[in-house]
Structure 1
Amino acid sequence: MKKKVICYALIIFNILSFTGKVYGAEDNYDITMKRDLLILSIAYPGYIVDFEKNDNGNIYVIMKSGQKHIYDDKRKKTFEEKFANPDIQDVMEQIYPLESIDKIMDKNIDPGRIRHYGILNEVYGKNRGEIEKNLKATTEGVTFNNKNGAVEQLNKAFKGARELCKREGKAAACFYPINGTYNYRVISGTGMLSPHAYAIAIDLNRNNKDYWKWATLEQGNERIREYSKELPKVFEENNFVWGGKWSHFDILHYEYRPEIILKAKYFGDESKEREHWYDGVPKDIENLQEYIEKIDKL
């Protein structure tokens, strides 16, 4: 009898444990999905207007134009497939590290390097003509896209960088001369438009150890160690990701990606206890409650 009781207890324990793990996984997925949708709403106000769940349970992001983009296509993909044909979940998956680094990131850790072209096309221009109509000169003379606050944030970064360069020679050597911003071209080795084609990326002073296709991993690590620690922070404070924090390193490259930086700021610290899934987002963000209510209805 005692053995039977023990067996029943073990069976019940295993069922509860198994069930708990499954529910936990589902809860974590849903929480991450909700946070991603909220961050996108904050990062692209006026462009992302609603969300929709279809009969199959697929979540779609609805753009101002009426175009719909699936959040998660549920396909298992290699890293290369995610880069070439991402859904929104693929774009938002990796958390960007806001802390300083002293070496190249581990293999295929590229937060912000995966891009959703459907969103970029709608926000910044879907062809060369549209993009060039959106170009505006900056305080450093280069042009940048004037949609979604991009040029304003770059000018703020420039101001911070100039102040930093006055007190830190290392930063000045990394910053000047600026290599360029707008260039309507594809990424080398792909048929995909470069973020420079959208005028949302800037390359600073070039070094032969800056790019993963030019340099060895050892050279990349050397460059990271000698690079200014403060300059990336100036750009990150203004919603730019730094290509130095990619395993496919691009150390001279900064890219305006508010969704990546805001997710890192608001939800990057997983050790924080949160009562609600949206805790961590500043409460004074315009239309925040409206965004939350739309997402909670899904």
Structure 2
Amino acid sequence: MRRLTFMIFILLILSGCVSNNRTNESEFKPIEDTRENIPISSGEESEAGHDMQVPQMDTYEITMRRDLLCLMMAYPEFISGIERGSNDEVYVVMKSGQKILYDDKKQKTYDQKFVNADLQDTMELLYPLSDISKLMEENCDPGRIRSYTFLKEVYGGSRQQIEKSLKGVRIGGQVCSFNRNNGAAEGLEKAAKEIIVLAEDRNNIYSSVFPVNGTYNYRVIAGTGQLSPHAFGIAIDFKSDKRDYWKWANRELGQQRLNEYPREVVSAMEEKNFIWGGKWAHFDILHFEYRPELIIKARNYVKEFETGEAWYYGFPLEGADVKSYIEIIDKI
């Protein structure tokens, strides 16, 4: 009898151990990682005034939103909103009521982009704010691709409209016509003042800038049917050198000129939202063009891995305007 009782007791203990082991297996079973389906959140209120919790976005969507924000920051008097169409196309809405397509989603060659660019094409290449020591690689021309529909909305859709928007900017004894819209003429005035001060003590700066070769000129780009940015009054060519332009000189001569060109002039112009044709493969070293959207994009550029918190990571959120632009873009 004692033996039977002892055997029952042992069986009960063994049964309990098996049960406990099963419980432990359940407790420590790996949980499937479903983070890719969970919105990223910092758990705090963002500086933009709304929850940082955002849906997962692919690289294209993030890039598009950042481009749109740059455009809204660069042209506050001309862009009224952003709309998404029924087929998922996105439009920049101008204050005139004109809607300009951001991306036609077509695969294009460089020449096709040059002739018929949408806004995505114009923003695609990142303009390098850092100095360059070598001419850019083939077809790397950040800013040389332009949306003419957009430029006409901002600076004038006809020669008559453009010329009504011109004002004289004094540069080293010359009076140069420049478009006053969107702060272009004001930016040139401020940059010119800095350059004139620099040129007083630096002969190489003076000899690279003066006399100014040209600003407003209603013409097409040589060899194309496209209007020059000079036709809109938003570009300036400083003193010309035979090695300045890709059609005048080979790359070896262009590289020599690039090496010599005073970077203080470049910095002064970039600070006032001008891009430099010296940073194009189709080099145009005497050429500067007012393109604030590209300078804003370059200043606020972040690498892809840094956009984890929110698509607008890195942009300044101190001003109410930027916050309102973010809110508009978040609604599309």
Q: What TM-score comes out, normalization by structure 2 length?
A: 0.80
- Out of 203, 226, 236, the residue aligned to residue 202 of structure 1 is 236
Please give the alpha-carbon distance, in whole angstroms, between the structure 1 residues aligned to 2:154 and 2:195: 26
Q: Aligned to 1:158, what secondary structure does the other structure show?
A: helix
Mark the runs of 5 or more structure 2 residues left unpaired by the alignment.
1-31, 37-55
Q: Aligned to 2:170, what secondary structure does the other structure show?
A: coil
Please give the alpha-carbon distance, in whole angstroms, between the structure 2 residues aligned to 1:170 and 1:119: 37
User: Are 1:252 and 2:283 an aligned pair?
Assistant: no
- Out of 36, 47, 63, the residue aligned to residue 32 of structure 1 is 63
Write the letter of the residue equivalent to 2:116: N
Relative distance call for 1:84 and 1:31 in structure 2 (3 A) is: same
Relative distance call for 1:272 and 1:56 in structure 2 (3 A) is: closer
User: Are 1:153 and 2:187 an aligned pair?
Assistant: yes
* Greater C-alpha radius of gyration: 2
Task: Describe the superposition over 1:226-260 as per-residue Cα deviations: whole angstroms up to 9, x where unpaired.
Answer: 11122111100000000000000100000000011
User: Are 1:55 and 2:89 an aligned pair?
Assistant: no
Q: Aligned to 1:69, what secondary structure does the other structure show?
A: strand
Please give the alpha-carbon distance, in whole angstroms, between the structure 2 residues aligned to 1:63 and 1:188: 30
Q: Aligned to 1:144, what secondary structure does the other structure show?
A: strand
Q: What TM-score comes out, normalization by structure 1 length?
A: 0.89
Q: Aligned to 1:61, what secondary structure does the other structure show?
A: strand
Shift of 1:166: 2.2
Shift of 1:26: 5.7
The answer as to whether partners of 2:89 and 2:103 remain within 8 angstroms in 1 is yes
- Out of 149, 158, 166, the residue aligned to residue 135 of structure 1 is 166
1:149-298 correspondence runs (5 A):
149-267=183-301, 269-270=302-303, 273-274=306-307, 275-298=309-332
Shift of 1:273: 3.1
Q: Name the structure 2 match of 1:6.
A: none
Task: Describe the superposition over 1:82-133 as per-residue Cα deviations: whole angstroms up to 9, x where unpaired.
Answer: 1111111000000000111122100111001111111110111111101111
Shift of 1:280: 2.0
Q: Aligned to 1:95, what secondary structure does the other structure show?
A: coil
Instruction: Name the % identity.
Output: 52
Q: Name the structure 2 match of 1:8.
A: none
Q: Aligned to 1:155, what secondary structure does the other structure show?
A: helix
User: Are 1:98 and 2:98 an aligned pair?
Assistant: no
Relative distance call for 1:286 and 1:196 in structure 2 (3 A) is: farther
User: Are 1:75 and 2:109 an aligned pair?
Assistant: no
Task: Describe the superposition over 1:20-53 as per-residue Cα deviations: whole angstroms up to 9, x where unpaired.
Answer: xxxxx96111110000000000111121111111
Q: Aligned to 1:273, what secondary structure does the other structure show?
A: helix
